[in-house]
Amino acid sequence: MRTKEFLICVIVIEIFTLALIFVFYNSLPLIYNKNLPLVNESNLIEEIIFDDYWYRWENISTNETMRWMPKKASIYIFSQDNDTVKLNFTLTPYKEGPLKIFVNDKIFIDTYLNTSSSISIESIDIVKGMNKITIEGECKVPALIENSTDNRCLSFALTNFRR
């Protein structure tokens, strides 16, 4: 008889827990993308989020950092209004190749960069809510093409990133 009472208690606790999760989850205005953490929209003010495809920030010098990306990576920007944002950054290719930048799935830049060139972005038109900037290019693995132990697939280095 004790086992039966125990099981009933466990079931009641599980149902109560699920009900609390359901109420809490549905009470928040959330933005969700499989590459992003859950973000509570009411707490965002001009938030910038890099998706999980970007590699970690690396120090180039005392006061400058860079971040490599593979073939494709995105930056998400939340805005309270339709606006033109001053988003400054430079993209430099690891090896020459095509570069495409999309803003909210619309082509923004379609060009070809050689290794001695870079491209700087200074302003982007965004809409109210979450905006997605996707950068695409060809990536190469340094360990396969030069004397390196770097096994990452690199396409562009992002530097001078400022909002």
Q: Could you read off the pLDDT of 140-154 as tens digits, one per residue?
A: 999 999 999 999 999
Dihedral sign for Cα 49, 60, 150, 118, please.
Answer: positive
Q: Rounded to whole angstroms, what are the CA distances from 51 to 19, 35, 112, 133?
A: 31, 6, 24, 10
Cα gap 51→36, rounded to integer Å = 6
pLDDT over threshold 60, residue 26:
no
- In this prediction, residue 1 has a pLDDT band, given cuts at 50, 70 and 90, of low
Distant-in-sequence, close-in-space partners of 81: CB < 8 Å, separation ≥ 6 = 128
Give the distance from CA 112 to its chain's centroid.
23
Average pLDDT, the chain: 79
Rounded to two decimals, the pTM is 0.69
At residue 16, the pLDDT reads 66
Q: DSSP class of residue 93?
A: E
Mean pLDDT value of segment 114-119: 83
Query: pLDDT tens, 39-88?
Result: 444 444 447 888 989 999 888 887 788 899 999 999 998 888 888 877 77
The CATH architecture assigned to 44-162 reads: Sandwich (2.60)
pLDDT greater than 80 at residue 100: yes
- The pLDDT value recorded for residue 48 is 83
Q: Is 31 helix (H, G, I), strand (E, B) or coil?
A: strand
Angle subtended at Cα 70 by Cα 66 and Cα 72, rounded to the nearest 5 degrees: 110
Q: What is the pLDDT of residue 125?
A: 86
CA distances (Å), 66 to each of 28, 45, 138, 149, in order?
35, 24, 18, 19
Residue ranges of the domains in the chain?
44-162
pLDDT in tens, 119-134: 888 788 889 889 999 9
Residue 97 tokens read as 């190749």
Beta bridge partners of 99: 111, 137
Closest CA to 74 of 117, 131, 153, 126: 131
